[in-house]
């Protein structure tokens, strides 16, 4: 039988091979800390294998697992010199639950397992602190009843209220031992009489019951929803870790803290964090607030443990993991214990600063620094800041807890934030303090403001993790939930009023402020240089407007991979000419409308070419699903008829004939240009004339790339390419200048993949249009997919929406085939991708493997794509070095 229970104590730990899989994050981390000879409480972890076997036995711990746990308890008794149910020095345990990834909804930590009617008396005598002993026992009974029997916490409050009145103890809790005994006797009677369960008085039975209930918490609704959302397998499972209790809540020399190995604001190596003296979980409830110490002050006269030792331990952990870390610790009667370490949770700006600093300090190399960065979270760097020149109406100041500024309507609940998000209205979530239940609201709100909490509070940690601006500890504010108001310095704001927070300064400002996007210099720029050195694929952008093109260049785009020309006509003044062209009943009518479109196109292209300054610019011929441009509703039809100078009835008939059952698979793409070659002629002319003009102005040749959409047949491309070449000859003759240009096609139909070799013979480049390719491979309309894709994800039928992240097995397999055929027919062909998946890190990793030359994505995803492409190249070269794999490309 494989081992399922693993013990640890300072200096030694039993470890299975795949520790974080088998022991969960917490268990594996404690084992590591123990092996590093750091002061951890001794204990043991029941592995995910134990969980799996128990779940197949309806959640029951088997006899053999019971004996393994019993042996571990006996080992723990010897190690601690304490005994479960002992007549002196009773052993008490804390039990923590951990999965391979942090997950909400699992059972909370259970403390003081081992207390019963007998040991509470012994414990009380041992400590000389009856109130502490009985309070602990009552808390254990209550948390046991909640976890194991699903009791309601309100019941215990009622019992206490009732007993207070009966026994007349007046204060928050009993004043004498007999009063405590009487209260606890009522709790136990309640369990037996109302819930039908006698509270187990045998510590080992308590432990087994807690383990079984903790195992079952995996199946709770919150944990399950989280797994679906994050694609975690139902079978991954959890582990439970039991360790000797640390009495961090008792006496002057006790407390709980969290330490960081670095100053997370500057990246400097320095012990920082907070310590709450005599911190109690229920401190607020019993009316005694702990005192916060700032660890960076280094005040070891007030810190009850050994601060220098803590600093050494934290540094040792950072050196071991090679990453800035945060460490949860406790001090119990002056003795320091570490409970868990993890990579320091920080905003992306800090992560970049630390990674770049570590390269400067010679601790890691550029590749390692790149691999430390979650590319998706670079998004947060593009957060706006407040324009400081304004006269700001600053209401109050809190702690700067997560960078970025945000404005929105005040909401006091996560639910309201969700409602507003549904209506597209930005909000600021204002709470006294956030709870795990608020997470869904934090995801959709613009920013989070809390009255309580420090920079390591739940709100701060979560906000930094998800990149939301956050201000905490704004103690000058008062929230009145009944009245739905927020009061600051005598000013009253209501739900729905606008508020701005600045997570970098802690400012809380009345009203909405003007926000600007920061410049991407300093460490960010350095990291991008690392990425540019490491990556193989180029990163281009999908852009049509000058503003998009400029933004993309600022983000480091190396050209335009897709200019959707139809998008250049969405604007007010232009849509008329476009409609006129589409609705024209004859070639002359179309040519007249096109003549009006030509100068607009030409000047747009000149501008794009100039902004891109010699970088490749791929311009796609018109590919509009026509319905997007047709006037809708009577009003618009009447207006258009007037503008076109034709009777409304005639126009209505024309619109009728243009209606398609499925416009996305209808008269669009190259089919349109084949039906109406005057379109391709006009567009090609605009492109060539613009290339000459921009080239002359800049004194540098522009080499446009003309891209034909939705090709399935080689002859479609032949037909259109011939027209493009004709126009090129004409324009060159007229202007007496030569223009170099490329003609290529989008590959977005399965037939184009199958015939990629023959199509490649006449194409200078391919760009995989993975939006349409996914649509046509799946036979799922891209505009209707959202309605059921989330259901598919929920049921685990797909891991991720294939319209967002490439379906490697299906669509990806076809792309590999297309790449292989294209390169065989034309080794020098340029291959890229310009569908939505071009900005998705997982997809980028796949595009690296098949050997594409570039990815093209929306401007704001360019930095993400640069880092993702670098990571993909690093991982690919490391993997292929190991396995001898070669990229598809020769």
Binding site for ligand PEP (CB under 6 A): 562, 564, 623, 748, 769-772, 834-835
Closer residue to ligand PEP in complex, CB, 683/770: 770
How is the beta sheet containing 43-46 ordered, strand by strand? 12-13, 5-9, 43-46, 238-244, 93-99, 110-113
- Residue 652 · residue 598 · CB < 8 Å: no
Closer residue to ligand PEP in complex, CB, 22/857: 857
Rounded to 10°, the helix 130-149/153-167 angle is 140
Residues 118, 87: Cα–Cα separation, whole Å: 8
Closest separation in Å from C-beta 451 to ligand PEP: 46
**Partner from ligand PEP, Mg ion, none binding residue 523, C-beta < 5-8 Å depending on class:** none
**All residues at 6 or more sequence positions from 224 whose CB lies less than 8 Å from its CB, including other chains:** 105, 234
Closer residue to ligand PEP in complex, CB, 232/674: 674
Closer residue to Mg ion in complex, CB, 425/782: 782
Interaction site with Mg ion (CB under 5 A): 748, 769, 772
Closest separation in Å from C-beta 839 to Mg ion: 16
Residues 549, 544: Cα–Cα separation, whole Å: 7
- Residue 262 · residue 324 · CB < 8 Å: yes
**Partner from ligand PEP, Mg ion, none binding residue 564, C-beta < 5-8 Å depending on class:** ligand PEP
Q: Which residues of 223-234 are buried (b: 16+ CB within 10 A; e: fewer)?
A: bbebbeeeebee
Cα-Cα-Cα-Cα dihedral sign, residues 357, 363, 369, 373? negative
Residue 667, beta-bridge partner list:
none
Residues 453, 430: Cα–Cα separation, whole Å: 13
Closer residue to Mg ion in complex, CB, 526/542: 542
Closest separation in Å from C-beta 613 to ligand PEP: 24
- Residue 458 bears catalytic tag: yes
Q: Is 516 exposed, middle or buried (0-12, 13-18, 19+ CB in 10 A)?
A: exposed
Closest separation in Å from C-beta 769 to Mg ion: 4
**Partner from Mg ion, ligand PEP, none binding residue 455, C-beta < 5-8 Å depending on class:** none
Residues 11, 438: Cα–Cα separation, whole Å: 40
- Residue 335 · residue 344 · CB < 8 Å: no
Closer residue to ligand PEP in complex, CB, 253/567: 567
* Nearest residue (beta carbon) to Mg ion: 772
- Residue 230 bears catalytic tag: no
Per DSSP, the three-state class of 833 is: strand
Polymer length of the chain: 890
Residues 465, 443: Cα–Cα separation, whole Å: 10
| Among the listed residues 649, 648, 630, the one whose alpha carbon sits nearest the alpha carbon of residue 638 | 648
Residues 243, 22: Cα–Cα separation, whole Å: 17
| Among the listed residues 683, 570, 545, the one whose alpha carbon sits nearest the alpha carbon of residue 624 | 570
Closest separation in Å from C-beta 789 to ligand PEP: 17
| Among the listed residues 463, 467, 397, the one whose alpha carbon sits nearest the alpha carbon of residue 433 | 463
Closer residue to ligand PEP in complex, CB, 91/560: 560
Closer residue to ligand PEP in complex, CB, 562/727: 562
Closer residue to ligand PEP in complex, CB, 407/770: 770
**Partner from Mg ion, ligand PEP, none binding residue 112, C-beta < 5-8 Å depending on class:** none
Closest separation in Å from C-beta 748 to Mg ion: 5
- Residue 315 · residue 261 · CB < 8 Å: yes
Residues 192, 114: Cα–Cα separation, whole Å: 19
Closest separation in Å from C-beta 392 to Mg ion: 46
| Among the listed residues 145, 148, 111, 115, the one whose alpha carbon sits nearest the alpha carbon of residue 130 | 115
Residues 245, 703: Cα–Cα separation, whole Å: 72
Q: Which residues of 682-703 are buried (b: 16+ CB within 10 A; e: fewer)?
A: bbbbbbbbbbbbbbeeeeeebe
Give the number of other Cβ atoms within 10 Å of residue 780's Cβ.
15
Residues 348, 375: Cα–Cα separation, whole Å: 9
Rounded to 10°, the helix 130-149/203-216 angle is 40
**Partner from Mg ion, ligand PEP, none binding residue 834, C-beta < 5-8 Å depending on class:** ligand PEP
**Partner from Mg ion, ligand PEP, none binding residue 693, C-beta < 5-8 Å depending on class:** none
**All residues at 6 or more sequence positions from 311 whose CB lies less than 8 Å from its CB, including other chains:** 271
Closer residue to ligand PEP in complex, CB, 139/668: 668
Closest separation in Å from C-beta 856 to ligand PEP: 8
Closer residue to ligand PEP in complex, CB, 200/750: 750
The number of helix segments (H) and strand segments (E) in the chain equals 31, 32
Closest separation in Å from C-beta 565 to ligand PEP: 10
Closer residue to ligand PEP in complex, CB, 602/668: 668
Closest separation in Å from C-beta 769 to ligand PEP: 3
**Partner from Mg ion, ligand PEP, none binding residue 835, C-beta < 5-8 Å depending on class:** ligand PEP
Closest separation in Å from C-beta 516 to ligand PEP: 30
Rounded to 10°, the helix 348-360/522-534 angle is 70
Residues 862, 381: Cα–Cα separation, whole Å: 12
**Partner from Mg ion, ligand PEP, none binding residue 536, C-beta < 5-8 Å depending on class:** none
**Partner from ligand PEP, Mg ion, none binding residue 770, C-beta < 5-8 Å depending on class:** ligand PEP
Catalytic residue selected from 458, 470, 670, 857: 458
Catalytic residue selected from 513, 670, 834, 857: 834
| Among the listed residues 482, 475, 363, the one whose alpha carbon sits nearest the alpha carbon of residue 413 | 482
How is the beta sheet containing 399-402 ordered, strand by strand? 394-397, 507-510, 498-502, 405-411, 427-431, 447-450, 470-472, 399-402
Closest separation in Å from C-beta 772 to ligand PEP: 3
Closest separation in Å from C-beta 542 to ligand PEP: 7
Residues 794, 803: Cα–Cα separation, whole Å: 16
**Partner from Mg ion, ligand PEP, none binding residue 272, C-beta < 5-8 Å depending on class:** none
Closer residue to ligand PEP in complex, CB, 702/707: 707
**Partner from Mg ion, ligand PEP, none binding residue 562, C-beta < 5-8 Å depending on class:** ligand PEP
- Residue 374 · residue 348 · CB < 8 Å: yes
Residues acting as catalytic residues: 458, 834
């Amino acid at each position: 039988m494989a081992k399922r229970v693993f013990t640890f104590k300072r200096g030694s730990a039993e470890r299975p091979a795949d520790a974080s899989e088998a022991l969960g994050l917490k268990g594996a981390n404690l084992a590591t800390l123990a092996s590093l000879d750091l002061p951890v409480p001794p204990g043991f972890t029941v592995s995910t294998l134990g969980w799996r076997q128990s779940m197949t036995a309806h959640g029951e711990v088997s006899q053999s697992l019971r004996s393994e746990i019993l042996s571990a308890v006996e080992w723990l008794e010897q190690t601690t010199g304490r005994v479960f149910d002992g007549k002196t020095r009773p052993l008490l345990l804390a039990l923590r639950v951990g999965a391979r990834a942090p997950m909400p909804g699992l059972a909370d930590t259970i403390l003081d397992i081992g207390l019963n009617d007998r040991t509470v008396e012994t414990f009380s005598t041992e400590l000389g602190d009856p109130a502490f002993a009985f309070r602990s026992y009552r808390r254990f009974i209550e948390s046991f009843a909640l976890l194991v029997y699903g009791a309601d916490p309100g019941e215990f409050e009622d019992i206490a209220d009732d007993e207070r009145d009966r026994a007349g103890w007046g204060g928050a809790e009993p004043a004498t031992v007999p009063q405590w005994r009487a209260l606890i006797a009522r709790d136990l009677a309640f369990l037996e009489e109302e819930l039908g369960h006698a509270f187990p008085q045998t510590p080992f039975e308590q432990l087994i019951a807690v383990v079984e209930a903790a195992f079952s918490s995996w199946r709770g609704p919150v944990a399950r929803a989280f797994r679906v959302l994050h694609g975690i397998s139902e079978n991954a499972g959890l582990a439970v870790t039991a360790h000797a209790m640390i009495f961090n809540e008792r006496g002057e020399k006790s407390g709980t803290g969290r330490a960081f190995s670095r100053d997370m604001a500057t990246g400097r190596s320095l012990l920082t964090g907070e310590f709450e003296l005599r911190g109690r979980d229920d401190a607020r409830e019993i009316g005694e607030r702990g005192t916060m110490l700032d660890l960076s002050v280094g005040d070891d006269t007030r810190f009850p443990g050994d601060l220098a030792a803590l600093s050494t331990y934290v540094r040792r952990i950072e050196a071991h993991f090679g990453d800035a870390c945060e460490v949860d610790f406790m001090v119990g009667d002056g003795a320091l214990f570490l409970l868990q370490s993890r990579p320091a949770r920080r905003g992306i700006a800090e992560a970049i600063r630390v990674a770049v600093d570590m390269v400067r300090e010679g601790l890691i190399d550029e590749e390692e620094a790149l691999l430390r960065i979650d590319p998706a979270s670079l998004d947060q760097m593009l957060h706006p800041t407040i324009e400081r020149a304004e006269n700001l109406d600053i209401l109050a100041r809190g702690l700067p807890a997560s960078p970025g500024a945000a404005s929105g309507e005040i909401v006091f609940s996560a639910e309201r934030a969700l409602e507003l998000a549904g209506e597209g209205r930005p909000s600021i979530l204002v709470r006294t303090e956030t709870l795990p239940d608020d997470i869904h609201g934090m995801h959709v709100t613009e920013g989070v403001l809390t009255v309580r909490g420090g920079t390591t509070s739940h709100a701060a940690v979560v906000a930094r993790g998800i990149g939301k601006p956050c201000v905490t500890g704004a103690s000058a504010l008062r929230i009145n939930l009944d009245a739905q108001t927020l009061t600051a310095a005598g000013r009253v704001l209501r739900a729905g009023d606008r508020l701005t927070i600045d997570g970098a300064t802690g400012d809380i400002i009345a009203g909405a402020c003007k926000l600007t996007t920061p410049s991407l210099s300093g460490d960010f720029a350095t990291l991008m240089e690392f990425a540019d050195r490491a990556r193989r694929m180029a990163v281009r952008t999908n852009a049509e407007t000058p503003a998009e093109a400029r933004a993309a260049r600022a983000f480091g785009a190396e050209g335009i991979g897709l200019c959707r020309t139809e998008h250049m006509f969405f604007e007010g003044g232009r849509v008329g000419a476009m409609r006129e062209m589409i609705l024209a009943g004859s070639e002359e009518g179309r040519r007249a409308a096109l003549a009006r479109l030509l100068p607009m196109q030409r000047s747009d292209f000149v501008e794009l070419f100039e902004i891109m300054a010699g970088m490749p610019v791929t311009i796609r011929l018109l590919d509009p699903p026509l319905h997007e441009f047709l006037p809708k509703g009577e009003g618009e039809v009447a207006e258009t008829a007037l503008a076109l100078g034709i009777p409304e009835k005639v126009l209505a008939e024309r619109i009728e004939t243009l209606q398609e059952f499925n416009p996305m698979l209808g008269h669009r793409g190259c089919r349109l240009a084949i039906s109406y070659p005057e379109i391709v002629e006009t567009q090609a002319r605009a492109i060539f004339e613009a290339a000459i003009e921009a080239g002359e102005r800049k004194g540098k040749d522009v080499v446009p790339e003309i891209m034909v959409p939705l090709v399935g047949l080689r002859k479609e491309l032949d037909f259109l390419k011939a027209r493009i070449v004709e126009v090129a000859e004409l324009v060159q003759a007229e202007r007496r200048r030569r223009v170099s240009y490329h003609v290529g096609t989008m590959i977005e139909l399965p037939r184009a993949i199958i015939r990629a070799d023959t199509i490649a013979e006449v194409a200078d480049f391919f760009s995989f249009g993975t939006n349409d390719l996914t649509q046509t491979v799946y036979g799922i309309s891209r505009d209707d997919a959202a309605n059921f894709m989330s259901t598919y994800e929920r049921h685990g039928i797909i891991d991720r929406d294939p319209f967002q992240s490439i379906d490697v097995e299906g669509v990806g397999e076809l792309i590999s085939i297309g790449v292989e055929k294209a390169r065989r027919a034309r080794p020098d062909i340029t291959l890229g991708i310009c569908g939505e998946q071009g900005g998705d890190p997982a997809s980028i990793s796949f595009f690296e493997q098949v050997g594409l030359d570039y990815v093209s994505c929306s401007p704001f995803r360019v930095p993400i794509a640069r880092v993702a492409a670098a990571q993909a190249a690093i991982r690919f070269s490391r993997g292929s070095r190991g396995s001898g794999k070669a990229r598809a490309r020769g």
